[in-house]
Structure 1
Amino acid sequence: MIKIVLKLIGKVVMVLCLFVLSLACSAQNNVFNLIPQPAHLEKGNGVFILNANTVIVPTENDKGVWELLALRLRSLTGSDLKVVKFATNNVIRFISDANIKGGKEAYRLEITPKTVVIKASQPEGWFYGMQTLVQLLPMKLKQADAKLGIKIPAVKIEDAPRFQWRGLMVDVSRHFFSKEVIKRYIEQMSKYKMNVLHLHLTDNQGWRVEIKSLPKLTEVGAWRVPRTGYWRNQKAPEPAEQATDGGFYTQDGIRELVAYGQKHFVELVPEIDVPGHSLALIASYPELSCTKKSQQVLAGDSWNASRTNVVCAGNDSVFVFLEKVIGELAGLFPSRYIHIGGDEVSRAYWDKCPVCQQRIRDEHLKSAEELQSYFLKRVSKIVLSKGKKPMGWYENLPGGLPEEMAVMSWKDDKGGILSANKGQQVVMTPAAYTYLDFYQGDQYLENAIFTVNRLSTTFLFDPLPKGIEEKNVMGGQGSLWTEQVPNERKLQFMTWPRAFALSETLWSGAGKSSWINFISRVESHLPMLDRDAVNYSRYFYDVVVSGVRGVDKALLVSLTTEVEGLKIYYSFDDTDPDPYYPVYTGQPLRIPKGAQNIRAVTYRDGIQVGRLMKIPVAELERRTPAK
């Protein structure tokens, strides 16, 4: 999906306000360091000692949650805990309790020196109670600790999620990720109570799901010529160059992923993006486009007007085609929803297409924009006919969106507010706060092409903006477009720790903790990511370098940090600063004559924590227009 470059001056102001507001720390006792924070926590007396003699007492119909716990504890402690039918001491017990309030994901966790009890009415609740229990183990746990006994603090927790849709989206079209990568992603997100994985399966750069009745979609559409590096301005395919880069999920592979998601209580939601973003589809079946010309799957090279990425909305064969696709998807994905895309349609093709123009006349439409509404409404009916609910990206169209379609609000909050207030179900994923392809550090040092979305910005995400009909907001998600994400390590890096902020907001609700409290808990979880070999960004430790104008319009340099309590050391003489260099005191710096760069770095307690930032003065001049 091609994103807009957002004007984020207001957002920057809010981020600065965040630091002022966060001075009042949350009352939550940080000894527990849970992400997301539970709804209610009461500290108990004493500790439970987890050791090799601890046993697990499962309950009926828990869908194997106790097995997941046993496997997790074995990986952390090296101990194989026995499973028994009854025990009263040194036991982890799962109990079914129909009186638990808060829905199927709610749970109660009570830890005493003798027992750990997880109560829930449904398996989802036991699963999330288990995740909380594991987080209560020491963060820097070593298997040798198990011999002495692992201390888990006594506590009573009553917990339930604020939102039902707590999602992440992975674009597997721009870069393909194997089943194994997606499984690891599912497992990691489930540890933080995220429960929806939205898979963007098709776009201009690849078709990633097998449709048995339409084999060319994966024979042709799943492959492109190989290109490495920055996405923009890649060379077009050379004559006779083979398309060898890509891949797809077989139907058996999809069933395997769906089953793995179900095991971890993560719902997989498929997206087939039409009528735009369809070059891979058209490369496979060019007769479905307005031009009917042969196309090639996009390999990251520059766009040009001769390339058609929009299906023909006037051609009935397109809807016959989509009925086959949606029918097979409905059989593969148990999800309530099938996402049909629907955004960023280049309607210029329809304006020139006699078949589309005839459709406009036949349906008494006024424009190609209304034709887009017609198309989405017709495809939504196909989805409904397969027993699923349609979902799509918000678009402001004169013909409106299908009433039965759930809406993802991506440009900002406005689309979500309008849709929710009309009675439609809404998932909030406003780009400025939740787009995980946006870079996390200084734009000069990043290869992303859009804008910044720092950890502190994602922390500000509120799925309930002012004026929205709350009952129609299902929740929200982080959306990771992968033009610049070529491998699993970068996929993880762009997700964590920003997904911590999303987890916190979507489970606990926005504004439940201060920034200082949250970042403290984030730091405590980094060793867990290290232990699990999950990559993550540390850019929240970096110096934020900004230009400001003095009263004489001269360029000054302001240095700030997202994290409180860091010392900033700097230089203008092209040498690398360390703790013996000047320390930034909070006042904007005048740039010495002749200085071409500023270098700055953050330290905590004498140890470097942020990257050494080298920003040209010319770059700051470019960013800082004169008043």
Structure 2
Amino acid sequence: MFKMLFKLASLKAVLAAALLSVLFFNARAQSLNLIPKPVRLEPGEGNFVLNARTSIVLPAATDTGFASLFAARLKLATGFNLPLAVARSLGREPVAHLKHLKPGARNVIRLVQDENCLKSKGDEAYELEINSAGVTIRAARSAGWFYGMQTFMQLLSVGLVQNQKGDGYVIPAVFIEDYPRFKWRGLMVDVSRHFFNKDVIKRYIDQMAKYKLNTLHLHLTDNQGWRVAISSLPKLTDVGAWRVPRTGYWRGQKAPEPNEKATSGGFYTQEDIRELVAYGQQRFVEIVPEIDVPGHSLAMIAAYPELSCTKKPQQVLAGDPWNASRTNVLCAASDSVFIALDKVIGEIAQLFPSKYIHIGGDEVSRAYWDKCPVCQQKIKDEHLGSAEELQSYFLKRVAQIVLSKGKKPMGWYENLPGGLPDEMAVMSWKDSKGGLLSANKGQQVVMTPAFFTYLDFYQGDPYLENAIFTVNRLSTTFQFDPLPEGINAKNVLGGQGSLWTEQVPNERKLQSMTWPRAFALSEVLWSAGNKSDWNNFIRRVESHLPLLDREQVACSRYFYDAIVTATPGLNKEMLVKLSTEVEGLDIHYSFDDTDPDQYYPVYKGTPLSIPKGAQSIRVVTYRKGQQLGRLLKLPVTELQRRMPAK
């Protein structure tokens, strides 16, 4: 009897210890606030202490470029100028400028080339092992090492912790196995509506690479500016890169005045492009160029009016005072247009090593072609049924030009009766349906459905923002699924966030419209179906906010704002519902035209009646006495406007 009781007690102790071990294991795993979430993570015991005596050890005969970048980032984070070393290896010549370390050396960050490391998972796969003796990053290719380094930097930098002596930084022991879900993990920046110089783009690339985003799609041309020098067509930048200066809200801007000089804009020289491409390559970010035709072409037509149907002189748009007198569409039947595009695409193909050249192709106003006798004759000659089929004809000819330069064409999805070129990869932007149809037809697809991935959409209450169209909150982007039901997954390259810049005039706005929503995109596109729940994700986002602050990267915190919804009550009177994206926030409110703080009434979940005479509601969010959301002041008239239609 006593033996049985003893055994039961022992069993309970073992189970309790096992439970504590599991809880400890899970707690440590949760505390490693990595974005994107790794495919597999196993916390270990103990820590590694990075100090001034740590070395970075490379395999023999390895290019040191990306390792030097790693060392530079470590110096910026810690102040330590860590040396690069090469592991001794029989049968190989030593690298003259690097010291050599024995294989068993301690206090090292060691890069190990292993052709069998996650062999089936591609060149970007890696294993990261950290223990008290050192750090090992295994990969088959340099890209894997690079992404292992980004993970290591997050483990070090998020909540930077010094050891007791104060001469080093503590990194928890861990084993990580990681690889991407998709090859194309992208962001698009529209540099036409507002121009961003090469230094801004470099900083953008830096930030992308830290979170394992690997494709930068540059929208280089549109109605508001042509941004890349083409030596055979110099007017594209002499004229097309400049517009009259305007400041403020994009819509309704005044058209150019008589004799007003076009001084606002800019462009990248071909040397700038080569520099940006090389900068991206060092950080494993590929730059994909877009030349948007036949619509969105006013900047090109302003430079060369003979390329339009009307042949009339035009000016580059300042803002968006659109009217029918401005021709922004190339003539689809003019041989001179295709000759010019052959020159443009030829030079673009030489500048950008990217496999793809994006040719735009969407939102074409075919009214110009309906009135153009040359276009109408082309429709007859080619036995086309309509101007819509003429658009298909045009895109197919441009696609052949791209193919002739050794590149693959890509374009925005359009539902055209003549179809899109079979050889063209497709970006699905209005929704996911175009991508689904194209992928199932056999075309390569990049998913960027607007309501989940458009980064120009506002992030908080529209009353406080000047962004256009509609809302795309952080939580909405987190719900993005690049593989809608029924799609042929093998034809989906991946996805991207697309940032149109009509309302993005400077770098700080560019950053805050990108981050933190790009965190969600990173997680969706990298984490191999291992995406966490929303609460876990938002906790990790919050841990990265101080890091972005230290790095002077603007990041929107509008996900902390209260969400105000007007709804009808039982007697059709207007009630007000308050909510938040993030759990655990207190919403304080007032109706008496005073600004609420943590001492004001807290919303309890029951819709609020508006007191008689109240002119507005004011709301703000707090957590543990700290204000997190913006103070939102909404007039009652605005709430009435938001009431659902009867």
Query: TM (normalized to structure 1)?
Result: 0.94
| Residue matched to 2:21 | none
Cα distance, 1:146–1:494 mapped onto 2, change above 3 Å: farther
1:568, 1:583 within 8 Å by CA — same for their partners in 2? Answer: yes
The whole-number CA distance in structure 2 between the counterparts of 1:144 and 1:539 is 35
The whole-number CA distance in structure 1 between the counterparts of 2:84 and 2:442 is 48
Residues 333-368 of structure 1, C-alpha deviations (whole Å, 9 max, x = no match): 000000000000000000000000011001000000
Question: For 2:101, which of 69, 72, 86 is the aligned residue?
Answer: 86
User: 1 or 2 for the larger relative contact order (CA 8 Å, sep ≥6)?
Assistant: 1
Question: For 1:419, which of 438, 444, 467 is the aligned residue?
Answer: 438
2:597, 2:620 within 8 Å by CA — same for their partners in 1? Answer: yes
Residues 89-126 of structure 1, C-alpha deviations (whole Å, 9 max, x = no match): 10000110000121100000000100100011111000
| Residue matched to 1:96 | 113
Cα distance, 1:455–1:174 mapped onto 2, change above 3 Å: same
The whole-number CA distance in structure 2 between the counterparts of 1:138 and 1:368 is 56
| Residue matched to 1:307 | 326
| Residue matched to 1:53 | 53
| Residue matched to 2:34 | 34
What is the aligned length?
Answer: 602
Which range moved further: 58-67 or 489-498?
58-67
1:131-530 aligned within 5 A:
131-141=150-160, 147-509=166-528, 512-530=531-549
Could you list the runs of 5+ residues in structure 1 that have no partner in the other structure?
1-25
| Residue matched to 1:67 | 68
SS of 2:156's equivalent?
coil
1:568, 1:600 within 8 Å by CA — same for their partners in 2? Answer: yes
Q: What residue identity is the alignment partner of 1:615?
A: L
| Residue matched to 2:592 | 573
The whole-number CA distance in structure 2 between the counterparts of 1:510 and 1:456 is 17
Residues 374-419 of structure 1, C-alpha deviations (whole Å, 9 max, x = no match): 0000100000000000000000000000000000000000000000
Q: What residue identity is the alignment partner of 2:80?
A: S
Which range moved further: 511-520 or 224-233?
511-520
Deviation, structure 1 residue 302: 1.1
Cα distance, 1:143–1:228 mapped onto 2, change above 3 Å: farther
Q: What residue identity is the alignment partner of 2:297?
A: S
Deviation, structure 1 residue 27: 8.8
Task: Give the structure with higher Rg (CA).
Answer: 2
Deviation, structure 1 residue 65: 2.2
| Residue matched to 1:4 | none
Deviation, structure 1 residue 301: 4.1
| Residue matched to 1:554 | 573
The whole-number CA distance in structure 2 between the counterparts of 1:389 and 1:121 is 27
Residues 466-493 of structure 1, C-alpha deviations (whole Å, 9 max, x = no match): 1111000000000000000000000001
Residues 281-307 of structure 1, C-alpha deviations (whole Å, 9 max, x = no match): 000000000000000000014111100
Deviation, structure 1 residue 511: 6.3
Deviation, structure 1 residue 62: 4.4
Deviation, structure 1 residue 594: 1.2
The whole-number CA distance in structure 2 between the counterparts of 1:89 and 1:27 is 28
Deviation, structure 1 residue 623: 1.1
Q: What residue identity is the alignment partner of 2:76?
A: S
2:157, 2:547 within 8 Å by CA — same for their partners in 1? Answer: no
Deviation, structure 1 residue 145: 8.8
1:165, 1:474 within 8 Å by CA — same for their partners in 2? Answer: yes
Cα distance, 1:622–1:300 mapped onto 2, change above 3 Å: same
Deviation, structure 1 residue 252: 0.5
Q: What residue identity is the alignment partner of 2:357?
A: I
SS of 1:80's equivalent?
coil
The whole-number CA distance in structure 2 between the counterparts of 1:453 and 1:306 is 34
Residues 152-192 of structure 1, C-alpha deviations (whole Å, 9 max, x = no match): 00111110000000000000000000000000000100000
Does residue 1:608 correspond to 2:627, yes or no? yes
Deviation, structure 1 residue 580: 1.4
2:358, 2:409 within 8 Å by CA — same for their partners in 1? Answer: yes
The whole-number CA distance in structure 2 between the counterparts of 1:626 and 1:304 is 31
Q: What residue identity is the alignment partner of 2:70?
A: L
Deviation, structure 1 residue 625: 2.6
SS of 1:162's equivalent?
coil
The whole-number CA distance in structure 2 between the counterparts of 1:466 and 1:549 is 35
| Residue matched to 2:14 | none
The whole-number CA distance in structure 1 between the counterparts of 2:218 and 2:389 is 28
Deviation, structure 1 residue 515: 0.2
Alignment identity in percent?
73
Could you list the runs of 5+ residues in structure 2 that have no partner in the other structure?
1-25, 86-99
The whole-number CA distance in structure 2 between the counterparts of 1:63 and 1:106 is 19
Cα distance, 1:549–1:323 mapped onto 2, change above 3 Å: same
Cα distance, 1:144–1:90 mapped onto 2, change above 3 Å: closer
1:77, 1:142 within 8 Å by CA — same for their partners in 2? Answer: no
1:110, 1:116 within 8 Å by CA — same for their partners in 2? Answer: yes
Over the residues paired in the alignment, what is the CA RMSD in angstroms? 1.4
1:5-20 aligned within 5 A:
none
| Residue matched to 1:13 | none
Residues 523-543 of structure 1, C-alpha deviations (whole Å, 9 max, x = no match): 000111011100010000000
SS of 1:136's equivalent?
helix
